[in-house]
Amino acid sequence: MNLQDMPSLAPSHIELPLPAIAPGEPFKEPAADGFILGGFTWRHASHDSARPIVIINAATSVRCRHYARFADYLHANGFDVITYDYRGIGESRPASMKGLRASWSDWGTLDFEAMLKRAQREFPGQPIDVVAHSFGGCAAGLGASGPVIRRLVTVGAQFAYWRDYAPAHRWRMLGKWHLVMPLLTMLYGYFPGKRLGWLEDTPAGVVRDWSTPTARYEKRPSGRDLHVKTFAAVKAQTLAISISDDPYGTIPAIERLLGYFSNAAKTHLRIEPQDIGEQQVGHFAFFRSAYQATLWPIALTWLQTGALAPDTPGQQVPRS
């Protein structure tokens, strides 16, 4: 199979250029199993127990550097910030991807949990908030220390159940992510996404989780031992932001994940691109600096107050 032919299966690539900004202070942090994770910290000079620390959870196989400008924005508005890469990605990539044991659940129960522990250790007494993109919203419910999260903002957060994909894109996405991606993973021992412009190279266990066609996360390969009570233990004030032209983050997809956070106070804000004077936004663009004046203040205000401003664009999705 010629990898160079594969992008023709997907008219719009999702290769994400790294922002032209110096990241924060680099760090290395071991997870509970000893795997060394890499990331960056935006830290104010003096400790303030009233200052929140924000952990940013990336989307599947998107490098944490993609969120550097947004992290810098939060830091400029009075937050300390941690960004990090899940095992196998970016700053946390080993010398060889073949044979790497890593799954979606590992990214949550081990990697995100390590960041919660780091936040408590490095920023003692400070409130802990989380901003989570795509699968990062699912990871936010998998950490054993989830009860410490004060406020949670998710963007397009879901766990890729194919029937929830937008109807206009569903069959192309099904072929790309649930047929071609696992096939290439079988051939190479990991998914060689970077060469295709389809995200970063991705561990085989993550591909198995993503491509399994089930509506329940605990029925994914790495979710079979999942105790959904880790999600239920999160009681954070939660804002789920979805964009109407995001083919992954449809209302059913967002609501499916929100259902796992059974004890959190939840608000689902649905935004049309036209609400902010745009023709399209999609799944990945929220964290680009082009939206600093229109979309970023929504997340910032929620992190600051736990509420939406009266002039917030979009409509709240009724809670069932």
Q: Whole-structure pTM over 0.75, yes or no? A: yes
3-class SS of residue 39? strand
The candidate with the shortest Cα–Cα distance to 102, out of 190, 191, 206, 208, is: 206
pLDDT digits 0-9 by tens, 220-261: 999 987 778 899 999 999 999 999 999 999 999 999 999 999
In whole angstroms, what is the distance from residue 226 CA to residue 135 CA? 16
pLDDT digits 0-9 by tens, 77-132: 999 999 999 999 999 999 999 999 999 999 999 999 999 999 999 999 999 999 99
For residue 18, what pLDDT band results from cuts at 50, 70 and 90? low
In whole angstroms, what is the distance from residue 232 CA to residue 179 CA? 33
What is the identity of the amino acid at 148? V
pLDDT digits 0-9 by tens, 185-195: 999 999 999 99
CATH numbers and ranges of domains, the chain: 3-316 (3.40.50.1820)
Residue 302 CB partners (closer than 8 Å, separation 6+): 151, 153, 237, 239, 308
What token pair was written down for 313? 């664009």
Residue 75 CB partners (closer than 8 Å, separation 6+): 24, 42, 44, 81
C-alpha distance across the termini of the chain, in Å: 47
Q: In this structure, how many other beta carbons lie within 10 angstroms of the beta carbon of residue 163?
A: 13
Q: What is the pLDDT of residue 7?
A: 43
- Residue with the two structure tokens 């789920």: 240
pLDDT digits 0-9 by tens, 30-86: 999 999 999 999 999 999 999 999 999 999 999 999 999 999 999 999 999 999 999
Cα torsion through 162, 166, 171, 175, rounded to 10: -50
3-class SS of residue 145? coil
Give Cα 61 distance to the centre of its chain. Answer: 9
